[in-house]
Amino acid sequence: MKIYYEDDIEMDVIADKKIAVIGYGSQGRAQARNMADSGLNVIVGVRSGGNSWNMAKEDGMNVMTIEDASREADIVHILIPDEIQATVYEQSIEPYLTEGNTISFSHGYNIHYGYIKAPNGVNVTMIAPKGPGAMVRRTYLEGFGIPGLVAVEVDATGDALDIALAMGKACGFARAGILETTFKEETETDLFGEQTVLCGGVTELIKTAFETLVEAGYQPELAYFETCHELKLIVDLIYEKGFTGMWKNVSNTAEFGGLTRRSRIITQETKKEMEKILEEIQKGEFAKEWTLENKAGRPMLKRMRELEVGLKIEKVGSKLRKLCGLEK
């Protein structure tokens, strides 16, 4: 495992290059501002006259259309949503790429699954923070940063890794450390983590535990506190101290109960299902499913969003978050 820190990275390789950040959402805004504040020549490429255009202008950024930014830039850093990247790339970026340019990403999805292909002579790199855009910006301003990942899919110029690392350093990632990986590894582990733990697994666990208590006759408000509200406290402990540190900070009763019962919740059958999900990701089956969902207008996602809003735990949670001052 190779980890790069600030002293390992030279900035000269991109000192005279123009970097177009395509998209000005959470990551686009944070990374563009960090690189600009680090002294790089940054252009923001967005749709003319939209909210992102106005926001970037207000932030003092050099703003252009995606086409003009791509034409001007030596490095095109694509930070728009996965599902629209291929179309935007084909229509507004690829026609303006020339030999020696670099296309860069913060997620390997479209490169790994073949939805975006670079012309000959163009570098394909990735520099990805392991945290949301708000944290990327906040930690940078605080004089630190969050860890990042770096990968090179195509090294057409012989210095693609140096270019990507310099961008990561400018964003503040090298202050915490930049881990070298591949597009394949980053994409597949990222999707797996989202689906089985971070977004899919944890919400289903919370929802099912909440429903179990409510159906057994317990107050919904108490069920929410026990299965959802307090989760942040435990996750924060694990984040800061690991599993063993967390166990030391809960009661002996909680430790014994958790250690003796957890394998009854996450069983070998659960692990087998996780392996199936990973296989779907590795074979590109999930990517194909997501592509078809978008082509159809996202009917399944829209329906699932409607169902999620209607869940009892959401209604109870909204009321309690307002009482706790977490939600207006």
What is the full DSSP assignment across 169-222? HHHTGGGT-EEE--HHHHHHHHHHHIIIIITHHHHHHHHHHHHHHHHTT--HHH
Question: Do residues 165 and 178 make contact, with C-beta atoms less than 8 angstroms apart?
Answer: yes
Helix axes 285-295, 268-282, angle to 10 degrees: 70
Say which range, 28-37, 195-204, 314-323, has the weakest mean pLDDT. Answer: 314-323
Share of the chain above pLDDT 90, in %: 95
Q: Is the pLDDT of residue 328 over 80?
A: no
Say whether both 44 and 170 belong to one domain: yes
Q: Is 258 annotated as a binding residue?
A: no
- CA quadruple 147, 15, 59, 77: dihedral positive or negative? negative
Cα gap 112→153, rounded to integer Å: 9
Cα gap 76→291, rounded to integer Å: 24
| Across 191-208, average pLDDT | 97
Q: In what order do the strands lie in the sheet with 41-45?
A: 3-4, 178-180, 148-154, 123-129, 102-105, 75-78, 18-22, 41-45, 62-64
| Across 156-162, average pLDDT | 97
Last residue of a domain, one of 151, 181, 211: 181
Specify the DSSP class assigned to residue 267.
Answer: -
Question: Do residues 160 and 152 make contact, with C-beta atoms less than 8 angstroms apart?
Answer: yes
Q: pLDDT grade, residue 326 (50/70/90)?
A: confident
Q: Is the pLDDT of residue 324 over 80?
A: no
Say whether both 306 and 173 belong to one domain: no
Which residue segment(s) compose the domain that 87 sits in?
3-181
| Across 258-270, average pLDDT | 97
pLDDT for 49: 83
Q: Is the pLDDT of residue 295 over 90?
A: yes
Q: Is 52 annotated as a binding residue?
A: yes
Say whether both 146 and 20 belong to one domain: yes
Q: Is 70 annotated as a binding residue?
A: no
pTM: 0.92
Residues paired with residue 179 on neighbouring β-strands, in sequence order = 3, 149
- For residue 268, what are its two tokens? 């070998």
Residue 23 lies in a domain: yes
Q: Is 113 annotated as a binding residue?
A: no
Q: Is 162 annotated as a binding residue?
A: no
Q: Which of 27, 152, 22, 41 is nearest to 89 (CA)?
A: 22
Say whether both 154 and 257 belong to one domain: no
Q: pLDDT grade, residue 298 (50/70/90)?
A: very high
Catalytic residue positions, numbered: 107
Q: pLDDT grade, residue 1 (50/70/90)?
A: confident
